[in-house]
Amino acid sequence: MDQEYVHPLPVRLWHWANMAFFVILILTGLQIRYVGSVDVIPFRASVLIHNGVGLALVANYAVWLGFYLFSDKKKVYHPILNPMQYFRETFRQIRFYTYGIFAGEPNPHHVSAYHKFNPLQLITYQVIMLILLPLQIYTGLLMWDVKRFPGLVAASGGVRVLDTVHVVIFIVFVGYVLVHPYLTTMGHTPGAHLKAMVTGYEEVEDKPG
Protein backbone atom coordinates (compact mmCIF):
# COMPACT_ATOMS: atom_id res chain seq x y z
CA MET A 1 0.00 0.00 0.00
CA ASP A 2 1.12 3.55 -0.69
CA GLN A 3 1.44 6.22 1.97
CA GLU A 4 -0.33 9.54 1.42
CA TYR A 5 0.38 12.52 3.70
CA VAL A 6 -3.20 13.59 4.46
CA HIS A 7 -3.14 15.11 7.95
CA PRO A 8 -0.55 17.93 8.39
CA LEU A 9 0.91 18.45 11.87
CA PRO A 10 -1.24 21.53 12.80
CA VAL A 11 -4.38 19.58 11.89
CA ARG A 12 -3.33 16.59 13.97
CA LEU A 13 -2.44 18.78 16.97
CA TRP A 14 -5.74 20.61 16.61
CA HIS A 15 -7.64 17.34 16.27
CA TRP A 16 -6.30 15.68 19.41
CA ALA A 17 -6.58 18.85 21.50
CA ASN A 18 -10.10 19.31 20.19
CA MET A 19 -10.97 15.75 21.13
CA ALA A 20 -9.75 16.29 24.70
CA PHE A 21 -11.65 19.61 24.95
CA PHE A 22 -14.83 18.08 23.55
CA VAL A 23 -14.75 15.22 26.05
CA ILE A 24 -14.08 17.55 29.00
CA LEU A 25 -16.75 20.02 27.87
CA ILE A 26 -19.32 17.28 27.42
CA LEU A 27 -18.59 15.73 30.82
CA THR A 28 -18.60 19.05 32.70
CA GLY A 29 -21.63 20.16 30.68
CA LEU A 30 -23.48 17.03 31.80
CA GLN A 31 -22.43 17.69 35.40
CA ILE A 32 -23.64 21.30 35.23
CA ARG A 33 -26.96 20.35 33.66
CA TYR A 34 -27.67 17.39 35.89
CA VAL A 35 -26.29 18.59 39.22
CA GLY A 36 -28.17 16.84 42.00
CA SER A 37 -28.75 13.78 39.82
CA VAL A 38 -25.06 13.34 38.97
CA ASP A 39 -22.52 14.57 41.51
CA VAL A 40 -19.07 13.51 40.35
CA ILE A 41 -17.45 16.95 40.21
CA PRO A 42 -18.60 19.85 42.44
CA PHE A 43 -20.86 22.26 40.51
CA ARG A 44 -18.57 25.26 40.98
CA ALA A 45 -15.52 23.31 39.77
CA SER A 46 -17.51 22.04 36.78
CA VAL A 47 -18.46 25.59 35.80
CA LEU A 48 -14.90 26.87 36.15
CA ILE A 49 -13.43 23.93 34.19
CA HIS A 50 -16.15 24.25 31.53
CA ASN A 51 -15.42 27.96 31.13
CA GLY A 52 -11.63 27.53 31.03
CA VAL A 53 -11.69 24.61 28.59
CA GLY A 54 -14.30 26.40 26.49
CA LEU A 55 -11.93 29.34 26.07
CA ALA A 56 -9.12 26.92 25.20
CA LEU A 57 -11.38 25.38 22.54
CA VAL A 58 -11.96 28.85 21.07
CA ALA A 59 -8.20 29.35 20.79
CA ASN A 60 -7.85 25.88 19.26
CA TYR A 61 -10.58 26.68 16.74
CA ALA A 62 -8.59 29.77 15.77
CA VAL A 63 -5.60 27.49 15.06
CA TRP A 64 -7.74 25.29 12.81
CA LEU A 65 -9.31 28.26 11.04
CA GLY A 66 -5.96 30.01 10.60
CA PHE A 67 -4.37 26.89 9.13
CA TYR A 68 -7.11 26.27 6.60
CA LEU A 69 -7.52 29.95 5.68
CA PHE A 70 -3.85 30.36 4.88
CA SER A 71 -3.11 26.96 3.39
CA ASP A 72 -4.02 25.36 0.08
CA LYS A 73 -5.35 22.45 2.14
CA LYS A 74 -8.59 24.41 2.49
CA LYS A 75 -9.59 22.63 -0.70
CA VAL A 76 -10.55 19.62 1.42
CA TYR A 77 -13.51 21.69 2.67
CA HIS A 78 -14.57 22.93 -0.77
CA PRO A 79 -18.07 21.74 -1.61
CA ILE A 80 -18.80 19.53 -4.58
CA LEU A 81 -20.46 22.06 -6.86
CA ASN A 82 -21.85 19.63 -9.40
CA PRO A 83 -25.15 18.43 -7.86
CA MET A 84 -25.29 15.25 -9.94
CA GLN A 85 -21.76 14.33 -8.91
CA TYR A 86 -22.55 15.18 -5.29
CA PHE A 87 -25.69 13.02 -5.16
CA ARG A 88 -24.05 10.17 -7.06
CA GLU A 89 -21.05 10.08 -4.71
CA THR A 90 -23.23 10.50 -1.63
CA PHE A 91 -25.50 7.65 -2.68
CA ARG A 92 -22.44 5.49 -3.41
CA GLN A 93 -21.09 6.19 0.07
CA ILE A 94 -24.43 5.50 1.77
CA ARG A 95 -24.67 2.24 -0.18
CA PHE A 96 -21.21 1.30 1.06
CA TYR A 97 -22.09 1.92 4.74
CA THR A 98 -25.43 0.12 4.50
CA TYR A 99 -24.53 -2.73 2.14
CA GLY A 100 -21.05 -2.73 0.62
CA ILE A 101 -19.14 -2.96 3.88
CA PHE A 102 -21.12 -6.10 4.82
CA ALA A 103 -20.51 -7.62 1.41
CA GLY A 104 -16.77 -7.02 1.77
CA GLU A 105 -16.61 -4.36 -0.94
CA PRO A 106 -13.83 -1.76 -0.80
CA ASN A 107 -14.59 1.80 0.34
CA PRO A 108 -15.56 3.72 -2.83
CA HIS A 109 -13.86 6.86 -1.53
CA HIS A 110 -10.16 7.18 -2.32
CA VAL A 111 -8.32 9.43 0.12
CA SER A 112 -5.75 11.98 -1.07
CA ALA A 113 -4.19 15.10 0.43
CA TYR A 114 -6.73 17.39 -1.26
CA HIS A 115 -9.61 14.95 -1.29
CA LYS A 116 -9.64 13.77 2.27
CA PHE A 117 -13.37 13.51 2.95
CA ASN A 118 -16.02 11.38 1.33
CA PRO A 119 -19.23 13.31 0.49
CA LEU A 120 -20.91 12.36 3.79
CA GLN A 121 -17.86 13.40 5.81
CA LEU A 122 -17.59 16.60 3.78
CA ILE A 123 -21.13 17.76 4.53
CA THR A 124 -20.78 16.67 8.17
CA TYR A 125 -17.55 18.58 8.71
CA GLN A 126 -18.76 21.63 6.81
CA VAL A 127 -21.81 21.80 9.09
CA ILE A 128 -19.83 21.09 12.26
CA MET A 129 -16.81 23.30 11.65
CA LEU A 130 -18.44 26.18 9.82
CA ILE A 131 -21.90 26.35 11.41
CA LEU A 132 -22.34 24.38 14.63
CA LEU A 133 -18.98 24.98 16.31
CA PRO A 134 -18.97 28.76 15.63
CA LEU A 135 -22.55 28.91 16.90
CA GLN A 136 -21.58 26.90 19.95
CA ILE A 137 -18.65 29.24 20.58
CA TYR A 138 -20.93 32.29 20.17
CA THR A 139 -23.57 31.02 22.59
CA GLY A 140 -20.94 29.73 24.98
CA LEU A 141 -19.07 33.04 25.06
CA LEU A 142 -22.26 35.02 25.72
CA MET A 143 -23.27 32.70 28.54
CA TRP A 144 -19.74 32.70 29.93
CA ASP A 145 -20.30 36.32 30.88
CA VAL A 146 -23.85 37.51 30.33
CA LYS A 147 -23.13 40.91 31.86
CA ARG A 148 -20.25 41.56 29.50
CA PHE A 149 -22.41 41.23 26.37
CA PRO A 150 -25.88 42.50 27.36
CA GLY A 151 -26.73 43.85 23.89
CA LEU A 152 -25.82 40.63 22.09
CA VAL A 153 -27.61 38.53 24.71
CA ALA A 154 -30.81 40.56 24.25
CA ALA A 155 -30.47 40.55 20.46
CA SER A 156 -30.10 36.77 20.56
CA GLY A 157 -33.38 36.36 22.44
CA GLY A 158 -32.12 36.16 26.02
CA VAL A 159 -30.23 33.66 28.13
CA ARG A 160 -32.83 30.91 27.77
CA VAL A 161 -32.63 30.99 23.98
CA LEU A 162 -28.82 30.99 24.10
CA ASP A 163 -28.78 28.05 26.48
CA THR A 164 -31.29 26.12 24.40
CA VAL A 165 -29.22 26.57 21.24
CA HIS A 166 -26.06 25.67 23.21
CA VAL A 167 -27.66 22.49 24.56
CA VAL A 168 -29.15 21.42 21.20
CA ILE A 169 -25.69 21.70 19.60
CA PHE A 170 -24.21 19.93 22.64
CA ILE A 171 -26.63 17.05 22.00
CA VAL A 172 -25.52 16.91 18.36
CA PHE A 173 -21.91 16.81 19.51
CA VAL A 174 -22.67 14.02 21.99
CA GLY A 175 -24.05 12.00 19.09
CA TYR A 176 -21.02 12.90 17.01
CA VAL A 177 -18.55 11.90 19.74
CA LEU A 178 -20.30 8.52 20.05
CA VAL A 179 -20.38 7.79 16.31
CA HIS A 180 -17.07 9.32 15.20
CA PRO A 181 -14.75 6.76 16.91
CA TYR A 182 -16.75 3.94 15.35
CA LEU A 183 -16.49 5.46 11.88
CA THR A 184 -12.70 5.58 12.25
CA THR A 185 -12.75 1.77 12.24
CA MET A 186 -14.03 1.72 8.66
CA GLY A 187 -10.59 1.87 7.09
CA HIS A 188 -8.90 -1.09 5.41
CA THR A 189 -8.01 -2.18 8.97
CA PRO A 190 -9.92 -1.10 12.12
CA GLY A 191 -7.00 1.03 13.34
CA ALA A 192 -5.85 2.45 9.99
CA HIS A 193 -7.56 5.86 10.25
CA LEU A 194 -6.57 6.23 13.90
CA LYS A 195 -2.94 5.54 13.04
CA ALA A 196 -3.14 8.07 10.22
CA MET A 197 -4.32 10.78 12.61
CA VAL A 198 -1.17 10.11 14.67
CA THR A 199 1.41 9.83 11.88
CA GLY A 200 -0.31 12.01 9.28
CA TYR A 201 -0.04 9.26 6.62
CA GLU A 202 -3.04 7.36 5.31
CA GLU A 203 -2.38 3.99 3.71
CA VAL A 204 -4.01 4.04 0.29
CA GLU A 205 -4.30 1.47 -2.46
CA ASP A 206 -1.28 1.36 -4.76
CA LYS A 207 -1.47 3.91 -7.49
CA PRO A 208 -1.47 2.39 -10.93
CA GLY A 209 1.79 2.53 -12.85
Partner 1 sequence: MRRPFHLALAAAAASLLLLVPGTAPAANESAGLSDDDLACLKCHDRRGFEQKLADGKPRALYVSTEKFAASVHRKDGCAACHSETEDDCEKKKPGERAFKTRREHSVGLMKGCIDCHKGSVLAYEDSVHAALLKKPGDKADKTALCSDCHGSHTEQFFEAAIKCESCHKESVKEHRDWLPKAERHLETVACEACHAPAVPRRVNLRLYVGASPLAVRAGVPQFQKAGGPAGAQTASLDSRALLGLLKELSEEGAAAKTVLRGRLELRSQEEGHRLAEKGKAIKDCAACHREGAEAFRSVMISVVGPDGKTLQAPADQKVLSSLASLDSVGGFYVLGASRIKLLDTLLLLVFVGGTAGPLTHLSLRALARRIREKRAARERGEAKDG
**Residue ranges binding partner 1 (CB under 8 A):** 32-37, 39, 42-44, 47-48, 51, 97, 101-104, 145-147, 157-161, 163-164, 167-168, 171-172, 174-175, 177-179, 182, 185
CB of 64 to partner 1, least distance (A): 24
Could you say which DSSP state residue 49 is in?
A: H
CB of 148 to partner 1, least distance (A): 10
Contact 16, 24 (CB under 8 A): no
Q: Indicate the residue among 160 and 207 with the shorter CB distance to partner 1.
A: 160
Q: Indicate the residue among 74 and 148 with the shorter CB distance to partner 1.
A: 148
CA dihedral 13, 19, 21, 27 (to 10 degrees): -170
Phi, psi of 39 (to 5 degrees): -135, 65
CB of 177 to partner 1, least distance (A): 8
CB of 113 to partner 1, least distance (A): 28
Contact 114, 80 (CB under 8 A): no
Q: Indicate the residue among 62 and 152 with the shorter CB distance to partner 1.
A: 152
Helices (H), the chain: 9-33, 43-69, 83-95, 101-103, 119-127, 133-144, 150-155, 159-183, 192-199
Q: Indicate the residue among 40 and 62 with the shorter CB distance to partner 1.
A: 40
